[in-house]
Amino acid sequence: MRDPEHPSQCSGPPISDADWSGPALAAQVLHAATFAASRHAGQAGKGRPPRPYINHLLEVAELVATAGGGDDPALLSAALLHDVIEKAGVTAAALRAAFGDDVTRLVEELTDDPRLSDDEQKQAQIDHAPTLTRRAKLIKLADKTSNLRAQATEPPAHWPPARRAAHLVWARAVARGCRGVSPALDQAFDAAAAAFEVGAGWPGPAGGTASPDPSAAADASPGAALRSGAIGFVPRQQP
């Protein structure tokens, strides 16, 4: 497989969308995993202690495959590559040359606009989730599930409880727009969110108490909360 950004690693012509068939399928997905691992080398996933970012990408692909995408190599490849433009600096043109239009379109669909602030990107994810294609929704929901799993028992050290609450509110808001494409993924996300609450020490549904409301904390002292970093992103209320 030709690697347009590392010519010394080239071993053939770029694949076309028509090549996703036959015995080469496993090789194509393996190439996507290798490509992702090399581009994200040195990066760490969410959680503590930090683990290689490829661990997160492999889990996302596994969740997608378990949800019924195991016979769609373009979907599995995009699951592995969904952050290479946003977090690894790979251009869409380079990705298209190596993996074709179908994979690249999916990755672009899942890439945040770098011109937006962090909070604007988070709100955009909520707003755009319902409009994503079915395959992009599978990857997005798997991504959020994997992140919550990692943070359930190993949250970032600098996140106070209210920041964790805000993150969970946001993740659930994004996931809400992706629901319905896979009952298995819906259940996996709900389980991860419940584990996140337990890990934070919040009583679960059985205790009759929901996780802390970040907007309520912000209302109590918005300036102090924001300055201290106690409150992260709070989603805009939907009409």
Q: Choose the weakest-confidence range: 4-8, 141-145, 235-239.
A: 4-8
pLDDT in tens, 125-137: 999 999 999 999 9
Q: What is the mean pLDDT of residues 4-31?
A: 55
Contacts 24+ apart (CB under 8 A), 189-195: 189/141, 189/144, 189/145, 189/148, 192/144, 192/145, 192/146, 192/148, 192/149, 192/152, 193/148, 193/168, 195/148, 195/149, 195/152, 195/153
CATH top class, domain 1-111: mainly alpha
Residue boundaries of the structural domains of the chain: 1-111, 115-239
119: amino acid identity, one letter: D
3-state secondary structure 138-181: HHHHHHHHHHHHHHHHCCCCCCCHHHHHHHHHHHHHHHHCCCCC
Neighbours of 140 (CB within 10 A): 24
Is the confidence at residue 238, as pLDDT, over 80? no
Say what the pLDDT of residue 157 is.
72
Q: Choose the weakest-confidence range: 46-50, 139-143, 171-175, 234-238.
A: 234-238
Is the confidence at residue 106, as pLDDT, over 50? yes
Is the confidence at residue 207, as pLDDT, over 80? no
pTM: predicted TM-score of the whole model, two decimal places: 0.78
Say what the pLDDT of residue 149 is.
92
- At 124, give phi and psi (nearest 5°): -65, -35
Considering the chain, what is the average pLDDT of its residues?
Answer: 79
CA distance 104 to 130: 20
Q: Which pLDDT band, with edges at 50, 70 and 90, does 47 fall under?
A: low
Q: Which pLDDT band, with edges at 50, 70 and 90, does 20 fall under?
A: very low
